[in-house]
Structure 1
């Protein structure tokens, strides 16, 4: 089965993509293109999947770089291919032929580019990372490499949508303590539960950071099990583990 890659015209002409779970070698609950090295999937299957992604990105396998994601605001400047995965949640580079990649399974995968300056970035932004500033930190790191905020495009890929993201009152309280205006990203759920709009929050943070263009591909990971892995859907189904989607961009 061929890979399915979601792209954005806003990031053209750079090679990039939000890969769905289609076209991979994994089976069972990981069926498809599971690229999560930290999952309990067979290492051989994950290696095959990642090699297929590298091939689609037209880079060597070791040039498909990533980080050990920890829901932080930390950004790594990548200057050469490396098998090391530093603890961080975003990467930037101005070096050609390196594909920056992030893994997600409901959190936001965000790809950045300033094509004029030749600077790109990739970030993993769940609610915690987004609140703690990983998106803004990625923009700052890109500017440090010569990018201009107004020339940066940021695209949020498949992530959990508001209608699937029900949370408790303590979650809401944390956001209101951070900024009372965050109330606009919540809607009433059942009882004392509320529904959080993660991609709208991400877009708000990106636009407040001054990027020239920000958009969401409008794909919900939870509601499309044939195409996307979802941590929350797996939890609701009481499955033992879940696959990780990959998003990547290169100069």
Structure 2
């Protein structure tokens, strides 16, 4: 099956893509393009999948850079492909041919570009990282290389939508403690349950940071099992594990 790659006019003509699960070599609960080395999928199969992604991005596999993601607000700048996975959740580079990639399965994959400066960034932004400032950190890393935030285009890829993201009152408290106005990202559910708008919050943080443009592709990972992996859906269905989607950008 051919790889399916979602793109954005805001990031074009830079080569980039939010890859769906279609077109991979994995099977079972991982069926498709599982790119998560941290999953229990066969490592050699994941390597094949990542090789297909690298080929689609026009880089050798060793130039497809991923992070050891921790749901942190840490960002790094790269002038070469690191020998070992760096512990962080966002990165930026000005090096042509270095493909920055993040892995997600409900969290927000965010790709960023300052076309004029020739600088790109990528961030893994779950609720914890977004709340703690990983998107601001990604923008800061790009600025340290010479980007201007007013020129940065940021695109949030497939992520869990508000309708599918049920949370408890203690989750709401985390956001209200930072800013009472964050209540607008929550809708009432059954009983004391609420529904959190993760991409809405991500767009808010990007726009508050002053980027030139910010958008969401409007794809929900939870509600489309044929195209996307979802951690929350896997839990609800009792699956033993779940695949990881990959999102990539390069100069």
TM-score by length of 1: 0.99
Q: Which residue of 1 aligns with 2:223?
A: 223
CA distance in 1, matches of 2:190, 2:205: 27
Deviation beyond 4 Å, 4+ runs, structure 1: none
1:240-251 equivalences under 5 Å are 240-251=240-251
Aligned residue for 1:9, secondary structure, equals coil
Deviations, residues 131-177 of structure 1 (Å, cap 9, x unaligned): 00000011111111110111000000000000000000100111111
Are the counterparts in 2 of residues 62 and 83 from structure 1 also a CA contact under 8 Å?
A: no
Q: Which residue of 1 aligns with 2:155?
A: 155
The Cα shift of 1:81 comes to 2.0
CA distance in 2, matches of 1:74, 1:218: 26
Q: Which residue of 2 aligns with 1:37?
A: 37
Aligned residue for 1:120, secondary structure, equals strand
| C-alpha RMSD of the superposition | 0.5
CA distance in 1, matches of 2:76, 2:66: 10
TM-score by length of 2: 0.99
CA distance in 2, matches of 1:187, 1:40: 35
1:62-211 equivalences under 5 Å are 62-211=62-211
Structure 2's unaligned 5+ residue stretches are: none
Structure 1's unaligned 5+ residue stretches are: none
Are the counterparts in 2 of residues 125 and 134 from structure 1 also a CA contact under 8 Å?
A: yes
Q: Which residue of 1 aligns with 2:26?
A: 26
Are the counterparts in 2 of residues 62 and 82 from structure 1 also a CA contact under 8 Å?
A: no
Deviations, residues 113-136 of structure 1 (Å, cap 9, x unaligned): 001000000000000000000000
How many residues end up aligned between the 2 structures?
251
The Cα shift of 1:78 comes to 1.0
